[in-house]
Amino acid sequence: MDVNTQNELKAHLMATNDNFRRLAEQHAQYKRRVEELEAKHALSEQEKLEESRLKKLKLHVKDQMAQMISHYRAQHVR
């Protein structure tokens, strides 16, 4: 599937699927916070743990979104 079609599918799910939209918003929040932490010169131990935890959560949410895209594609795109 080309990038345009992938982006169109994501846009469609954002517009029509509340759960996908919620996951995308969570992913964006985690990403922003990770970027804030990565921008710091040095992290405390607590911040390092938070960064690691957020990266895992972000990846988990991304995996859930990918699964939803695959499921939608299997049901609707042939």
Give strand ranges (E) for the chain.
none
3-class secondary-structure state, position 42: coil
Delimit the domains of the chain by residue range: 48-78
Residue 77: pLDDT band with limits 50, 70, 90: low
pTM of the predicted structure, to 2 decimals = 0.86
3-class secondary-structure state, position 26: helix
pLDDT digits (tens, 9 = 90+) for 18-62: 999 999 999 999 999 999 999 999 999 999 999 999 999 999 999
Residue 62 DSSP one-character state: H
Separation in Å, CA 75 to CA 12, 26, 58, 72: 14, 25, 26, 5
